[in-house]
Each structure stands twice: as structure tokens, then as C-alpha cells.
Structure 1
Amino acid sequence: MIPLEFTADQIGQWVGQHLWPLFRIASFMMVIPFIGTQLVPARVRLGLALLMTILVVPMIGEVPQVEALSGDAVVITLQQILIGVGMGFALTALFQLFVVAGQMIAMQMGLGFASMNDPANGVTVPVLSQLYTITITLLYLAMNGHLVAFEVFLESFRTLPIGLEGIGQGGLWMLTHRISWMFVSAMLLALPAVTAVLIVNISFGVMTRAAPQMNIFALGFPIGLIFGLFAIWVLQSNFLPHFHQYTEETFEFMRQLQGVP
């Protein structure tokens, strides 16, 4: 029998061909909203990452041949983690956009005190934000947004192949500016309801100046709350177009992060 002999380069090639894609995929799945939450155990996320890695590796091709404990291997590993976390952050910003919009509306209409625990993130958020979170999660899954997200993410292995090159400084600046996009979009989404409640508060302010003896605060709070709920109900008709637009912008941003025009 001829003994099988494997060189250190071959072993490093096999390990790197599976380990580096695993770092990128696992980092992505640990961050994205619908899988990377506290509701999904870490073992399940790791198992899904391993399964996806096994399916993706045959389509990747050759990976750089470097020593396992060299500085280049550490840089490549960090680049894979950064790519996965960056693209997962883009999806997280999409979901947190509606949470911030719900907080803005709730604070203006007097529902800021009505908070509940968010089991997905482990924090306390207003009830309106939790309602928005449930709504966009169901819409996202119903529109197969998770499949599109995985498709865009897997394109990164072609546009950003495994190597010393990553998203670069320009990609880091894009991720930083994405935070401002989240707050601006949340303000645009919440602006109609906030403006409607502000008009009601201004009206009660004018009434207070005209009739100081009236207890406007006791009367204005429930009326402002009811009018805010009515404004939210009216604005629900435009919820789907806004969600569709922000989702398209998110996927476009993920492609721009990969360097795809």
C-alpha cells in the first residue's frame, strides 16, 4: 500500500478553504435581525453557518495559500469577519429604523411610558416600536427578504474574494454614514404622525392662553393620545411602500459595500 502523505501547504489550503468562508458566514448570521437574535440559540446559528459553508465552498474556488499562524492569515480572518459584520449591520439598520421611528412617535403622543421587553434584543422599547418590529419582520419574511439577503451576501464571495483585500477604508466610511441614514429615514417615517400630534399640542397651548382657568393638561393628554393613535392608523396605508423603498435601499447598499456599481 502507498502511504498517503499530505504537506503542510495542502492542509493549510483545505483548512483555509473552509475556515475563512465560515468566519464570513458565521459573522453575518450572528448579526442579522431574524437569525442573530436571542430567540435563536447560538448552536442553531452555528449549525446553519456550518451547513451553508459546506454548500458554498465548492463555488468559491481557490483561496490564498498562507501559513495558518502568519500575519497574513490573521489579516484575512479579520477581513472576513469585518465583511460579514458589515453586511449584517446593513440589515440591522433596516430593522432598527422602524424601532427608532416608533420611539419618536410614542414620545410625542405620550406613549413613551408604555414600554415592554423586546425578547429579540433583550432591551426595553415602547409598545409602538415593538408593534413596528413585529410588522416588518412578518413583511420581510412574507416577501422572501431573507432569501434575497442571503443571495446578495453570497455574491460577496465573487465580488470580494477571500484575500488580504476587504471592504477597505471606503467601506468603513459607508458603514459609518449608514447610521445617519437610519436616523434620517426614521425621522421621515415618523414625521407625519409627529407633525399631527404637534399641531394638537399647539392648539391646546393656544387654548391655555385663551382660557387659563381650564385644566387643559388633564384634557389634552387623552385627546392627544387618541389623535396620535388615529394618525398611526391613517399612516398604516403608506407603511408598505416605505418598507419596500427602505428594503431596496438596504440591498443596494449591500451591493455598493461589495464594490458593485
Structure 2
Amino acid sequence: MIELAGSDIGRWVAGYLWVLFRIGALFMTMPVIGTALIPMRIRLYFAVALTALVAPQIANVPQLDALALSTWVVIGEQILIGAAMGFLLQLLFQIHVVAGQIIAMQMGLGFASMNDPAMGISVAVVAQVFTMLITLLFLAMNGHLVVIEVLVESFTTLPIGETLQAAHFQTLVLRFSWVMAAALLIGLPAITALLIVNLSFGVMMRAAPQLNIFSIGFPLTLVFGLFILWVLLGAAAEQYHLFASETLIWLREMVGAR
């Protein structure tokens, strides 16, 4: 007959519970997997399955004492680490959403919006196109597998029970300003081209005041904008690779991975 002591049960439960909190927090906040497109139950199944694979490989796990304050501190730290990793990945997607909003306003499609099922808000159609494109590139280039690799490595670089320092999340705080700069970098060619188009219409109005700029300018601006957007999509893979590489490097820096 097998007899189990309370300490043994606590050690086994803690070995999986701490890992589940960090993995679950990441899966609830990261792009693609953490969106409303995937049901909460499916995300929980993913987290439990990955926990069952990762937890046996982690050593030196703190003992579980449900009534101790230190237990809740460790739980909060694991959730904070996972959520911070997920929010840093969200920046990669949000720069393309902001770029799409900027381009849509310049080409006259700012009023054309649709509901984003992933975020649950209304965004411009151009931004939604960018979001779908980046989602496909993220999955096609195995971005989700790289994230899982960094997550597993984080249990070595940020062991469970180690006191977190402000430097661990300094990367996340400093990169919020990077979103607008990167979005402007993506939309700058379209903004410049549409500015030239609008200046050309201004010259036409000065040369021929009898022209109705509202009946001619808006359709032409929209057509030129769609053409410019088509040209931009040709370089979308290169831009994604550049920004995704920077984001994953910052993700590794945040958790101290190599």
C-alpha cells in the first residue's frame, strides 16, 4: 500500500501549479492564442498540456503552503511574468494596427470600419487587413513556437520563487514609445505618396478653379491609396521580419534568455 505524506502531495502540486500560472497568463494575453477567436476552454487546455510537458523538467520548485502569504506572492509573480511576455508580443501586432489606422485616414477610408473579432473593438478596414496579414505571417514563420521556446527557457533564467526586479520589466515599459515610431515607419511611404497626390490636387484647383475637387479628388485619392497599399503589401514580409526579430530579442532580454 502506497502512503503519501502531505509534504509529498504539496511538492507535486506546487511543481505543476507554479508553472501553470505563468504559462496560463501568457496564453491569455499573447496574440493569436490569447484573442477572443480561441475559446477560453481551449486556451486552458493548451496551458495544461504544455504544463504537463514542462513541469517535470523544472527543479528546485518552492513548497506549496496555501495559507502562507509567500504562496500568493509567488502566484502573483508568475502571473505577472506571463502577462508581461504576452503584452510585449501584443506590441508587434499593435504597430500594424496603428499603421493601418494612419494610412486609412490619409486615403479617405477612416470612416470605413469593421468589428475586430480578436480585440472586440471597431477598427479601420485597412488596419484589419494588416492584422490578418501579420497573424498569418506570425503563424507561418513559427512565431508561436519561438514564444513557447522563450517561455520554457524563462523557467531557467527566472526561476520560480526568485524575487523580481524592476529591471526585468524595464524593456516592456520602454517599448511603448516604439509602437508609434514603428507604425509611422510602416505608413511613411503611403503618407508621403498621398501627400504628393493631395498637393497635386491643390495645384489643379489653383490652375482650374472650375473643377470640383470633392467629386474628383476623393475617388482619385481612394484609387491611388489602394494602389499604394497594394505596393506596400509586397514588402510586408520584410517589415514583419524586422519588427518580429526586434520584438523577440526584447522578449528574451526581458526574461534574461540568451
What TM-score, normalized to structure 1? 0.93
Q: 1:130 aligns with which of 109, 128, 131?
A: 128
Structure 1 partner of 2:144: 146
- Tell me the residue number matched to 2:61: 63
| Partner deviation per Cα, 1:26-53 (whole Å, 9 max, x = no partner) | 0000011111111111111111111111
Answer with 179-188 or 207-216: which moved more.
207-216
| 2:177 equivalent among 177, 180, 184 | 180
Distance (whole Å) between structure 2 residues aligned to residue 250 and residue 221 of structure 1: 37
The amino acid that maps onto 2:216 is L
In structure 2, C-alpha distance between the alignment counterparts of 1:39 and 1:27, rounded to whole Å: 17
Query: Is the aligned partner of 1:250 residue 2:247?
Result: yes
**Deviation string, structure 1 residues 131-168 (Cα, Å, up to 9, x no partner):** 111111111211112111111111101111101423x2
Partner residue, 2:94:
96
One-letter amino acid of the structure 2 residue matched with residue 150 of structure 1: I
* Contact kept in structure 2, 1:66 and 1:72, CA below 8 Å: no
Q: What is the match of residue 236 of structure 1? A: 233
Per-residue deviation, 1:231: 1.0
Q: Is the deviation greater in 232-241 or in 206-215?
A: 206-215
Q: Does structure 2 conserve the Cα–Cα contact (< 8 Å) formed by 1:12 and 1:68?
A: no
- SS of the residue corresponding to residue 36 of structure 1 reads coil
Q: CA shift at 1:115, angstroms?
A: 0.9
Contact 1:28 1:88 in 2 (8 A): yes
The percent identity for this pair of structures is 53
CA contact (8 A) 1:97 1:183 kept: yes
Q: Distance between the aligned counterparts of 1:66 and 1:127, measured in 2?
A: 49
Partner of 1:35: 33
Q: Please give the root-mean-square deviation of Cα atoms over the aligned residues, in Å.
A: 1.6
Q: Count residues in correspondence.
A: 258
Q: Which secondary structure does the structure 1 equivalent of 2:122 belong to?
A: strand
Partner of 2:51: 53
Amino acid at match of 1:169: A
Aligned partner of residue 115 in structure 2, secondary structure:
strand
Deviation per residue, 1:92-131 (Å, 9 max, x gap):
1111111111111001110111111111111111111111
Check the 8 A contact 1:21/1:57 in 2, yes or no: yes
> Using the alignment, how far apart are the partners of 1:32 and 1:50 within structure 2?
16
Q: Give the distance between the partners of 1:121 and 1:63, measured in 2 at CA.
A: 36
Query: Are 2:200 and 1:197 equivalent residues in the alignment?
Result: no
Distance 2:162 2:64 in 1: 11
CA contact (8 A) 2:101 2:123 kept: yes
Please, which runs of 5 or more residues in structure 1 have no aligned partner? none
Q: Runs of 4+ in structure 1 displaced over 4 angstroms?
A: none
Aligned to 2:212: 215
Mapped partners of 2:50, 2:155: distance in 1: 13
| Aligned residues of 2:100 and 2:126 also touching (Cα < 8 A) | yes
TM-score normalised over the length of structure 2: 0.94
State how far apart, in whole Å, the 2-side matches of 1:240 and 1:223 are: 28
**Structure 1 residue 208: Cα displacement:** 2.8
